[in-house]
Amino acid sequence: MTVQKPRLHVLLAGPRGFCAGVDRAIRIVEEALKRHGPPVYVRHEIVHNRFVVEGLERQGAVFVEELDEIPDDGQPVVFSAHGVPKSVPAAAQRREMYFLDATCPLVSKVHRESERHHARGRHLLLIGHEGHPEVVGTMGQVPDGAMTLVEDAAAARRVAPPPGVPLAYTTQTTLSVDDTAGIVAILRERFPGIEGPAKEDICYATTNRQAAVKAVAARSDIVVVVGAPNSSNSVRLREVAERAGAPRAVMVQRGAELDPALAEGCATLGITAGASAPEVLVQEVLDRLRDRFDITTEEVVVAVEDIVFRAPRMRAVA
């Protein structure tokens, strides 16, 4: 006798998963391995996803946290998609390393904006999360003391920039769109003359994925976010899902981490994935759910992305 599985309707948020910056960074490491052979050294996780990192390790990538862990063997060094302080390429040049910068072009845009504001005599307020590699990299584009970190609305209300100095603000690219708008509103109220970016610094991929998960969360009994706990944009997706009306939102890195019992009694489940999570991991979650439920799927698409970033030209192999 066949036991009938309970039905579960799955809403798949679109866009989800890889963005153009993540895709470009991974391609840079893979092309370097193809051209130069292993090892190719990568400073910090190329993107915040262990599945991706472990896949590149199997191909011969070696991940390190600092340049002093890398021997002088002439092999390529790749800087992660999150960006690095100016001190890092400067140190690589002193050691005559061959390095490739996989910084997302939208993060590089924030770096150039920061430099321009500093050159014009403005003190910078950076909205972001302390210790995140992108924040470390952005703060490292200007001299110490030229930028002040503002982590949340409470910090925006109490921040005390140098008196008599014109101000500008910039942001980490992977923040909550709604939270950041609230922080910017506080800063503009307190400092009416503050300069902002010509175009918002939160990247298109973060904005689109948050809009998509809002559309899914409003119809879901539970939302599953596929992503890593150290991935800022993935953590924000879980927070946005809860605020958008999902009774519960959970994060998993792989399908095996998901307890299907969480969906017992649910009619509709939403799924999204952070910008550094490949689609294969979403399929793992679907397969995990199929073990317990008779599922139907529906794509909920709020935007179509067709952006592609070109990888830098690589040095010819001698």
Nearest to 202 by CA among 138, 127, 131: 127
Give CA–CA dist 278/127, Å, rounded: 28
Write out the two tokens for 283: 């399929």
Given the residues 45, 113, 134, 284, the one annotated as active site: 134
Amino acid identity, position 286: L
Q: Are 149 and 126 in contact (CB under 8 A)?
A: yes
Whether 134 is catalytic? yes
In angstroms, the Cα distances linking 270 to 97, 214, 216, 231, 273 are 46, 10, 6, 19, 10
Residues serving a catalytic function are 134
